[in-house]
Structure 1
Amino acid sequence: MSNVPGTAAVPSPKSRIHGCLLGGALGDSLGYAVEFDSIAAIRSRFGPKGLQDFAALDGGSHFSDDTQMTLYTVDGLVEALEWANAGVGADANACVWLAYLRWLNTQGMSAPDPAPRPQQRWIDSQQVLRHRRAPGAACLSGLATGEMGTVHRPVNPDSKGCGTVMRSAPFGLIPHIPAESVYKLSSDAASLTHGHPSARQSAGVFSLLIHSLVQGRGLLEAAQLAADHVRSDAEAVPELRARLDAAIRWAGEAAAQGSETRALLAPEDLVRELGEGWVAEEALAVGLYAVLATASGGPTAPGGQAAAPAPAEHFKAAIAVAINHSGDSDSTGSIAGNILGAYYGEACLPADWLEALEAPEVIRGMADQLVAVTTA
Structure 2
Amino acid sequence: MTFAAAPLHHARPDFATRVHGTLMGGALGDAFGYLVEFDSLADIVNAHGPSGLQDLAAAGSPVHFSDDTQMTLYTLDGLLDVLEWANDGVGADINACQWLAYLRWLKTQKVPVPGHAPAQPPRWIDAQTVLHHRRHPGNACLSGLGTGEMGTVARPVNPDSKGCGTVMRSAPYGLLPHVEAETVYKISSEAASLTHGHPAARQSSGAFSWLIHQLVIGGLSLRAAAQSAQARAAAEPAADPALLARLDAALTLSANEPLSGDDLTEALGLGWVAEEALAVALYCVLVTESSAASPAEHFRTAVPLAANHSGDSDSTAALAGNLLGALYGEAALPAQWLAVVEAPELIRRLADDFLTLTTGAA
Corresponding residue for 2:341?
A: 357
| 2:330 is the alignment partner of 1:346 | yes
| 2:122 is the alignment partner of 1:133 | no
Corresponding residue for 1:223?
A: 226
Corresponding residue for 1:369?
A: 353
Corresponding residue for 1:97?
A: 99
1:331 alignment partner, one of 311, 315, 324: 315
For 1:314, the aligned partner's letter is: H
Corresponding residue for 2:255?
A: 252
Equivalences for 1:2-81 in 2 at 5 Å?
5-7=8-10, 9-58=11-60, 60-81=62-83
Shift of 1:369: 1.1
2:150 alignment partner, one of 137, 148, 151: 148
Q: State the Cα deviation string for residues 264-298 of structure 1 (Å, max 9, x = none).
A: 1031111111000000000000000010000012x
CA contact (8 A) 1:4 1:10 kept: no
CA contact (8 A) 1:32 1:61 kept: no
Runs of 4+ more than 6 Å apart: none
CA contact (8 A) 2:60 2:340 kept: no
Q: Secondary structure at the match of 1:156?
A: coil
Shift of 1:4: 7.5
Shift of 1:230: 1.7
Measure the CA separation in 2 of the matches of 1:148 and 1:4.
Answer: 43
The 1:58–1:372 alpha-carbon spacing in structure 2 relative to 1, beyond 3 Å, is: closer
TM-score by length of 2: 0.96
1:232 alignment partner, one of 206, 230, 235: 235
Measure the CA separation in 1 of the matches of 2:302 and 2:350.
Answer: 25
| 2:274 is the alignment partner of 1:271 | no
Larger deviation, residues 109-118 vs 182-191: 109-118
Shift of 1:59: 6.0
Shift of 1:56: 3.3
Unaligned runs of 5+ in 1: 254-262, 298-307
Corresponding residue for 1:194?
A: 196
TM-score by length of 1: 0.92
CA contact (8 A) 1:179 1:211 kept: yes
CA contact (8 A) 1:16 1:343 kept: yes
| 2:285 is the alignment partner of 1:291 | yes
| 2:213 is the alignment partner of 1:211 | yes
Corresponding residue for 1:302?
A: none
Measure the CA separation in 1 of the matches of 2:349 and 2:131.
Answer: 13
| 2:274 is the alignment partner of 1:280 | yes
| 2:88 is the alignment partner of 1:86 | yes
Measure the CA separation in 1 of the matches of 2:200 and 2:236.
Answer: 12
Q: Secondary structure at the match of 2:149?
A: coil
Measure the CA separation in 2 of the matches of 1:19 and 1:97.
Answer: 25
Identical aligned residues as a percent: 63
Measure the CA separation in 2 of the matches of 1:70 and 1:251.
Answer: 27
Q: What's the C-alpha RMSD, in Å, of the aligned pairs?
A: 1.2
CA contact (8 A) 1:20 1:340 kept: yes
Q: State the Cα deviation string for residues 100-155 of structure 1 (Å, max 9, x = none).
A: 00000000012212101111111001110000000000000000100000000000
Q: Secondary structure at the match of 2:255?
A: helix
CA contact (8 A) 2:8 2:289 kept: no
CA contact (8 A) 2:7 2:290 kept: no
Measure the CA separation in 2 of the matches of 1:83 and 1:341.
Answer: 28
Shift of 1:58: 4.3
Measure the CA separation in 2 of the matches of 1:266 and 1:6.
Answer: 26
Corresponding residue for 1:257?
A: none
Q: State the Cα deviation string for residues 215-250 of structure 1 (Å, max 9, x = none).
A: 210100000000111222231110000000001111
Unaligned runs of 5+ in 2: 1-5
Q: Secondary structure at the match of 2:299?
A: helix
Q: State the Cα deviation string for residues 299-341 of structure 1 (Å, max 9, x = none).
A: xxxxxxxxx5200000110001100000000000000000010
2:163 alignment partner, one of 161, 164, 169: 161
Corresponding residue for 1:259?
A: none
Aligned residues, how many?
A: 354
Shift of 1:6: 3.4
Corresponding residue for 1:312?
A: 296
Larger deviation, residues 227-236 vs 325-334: 227-236
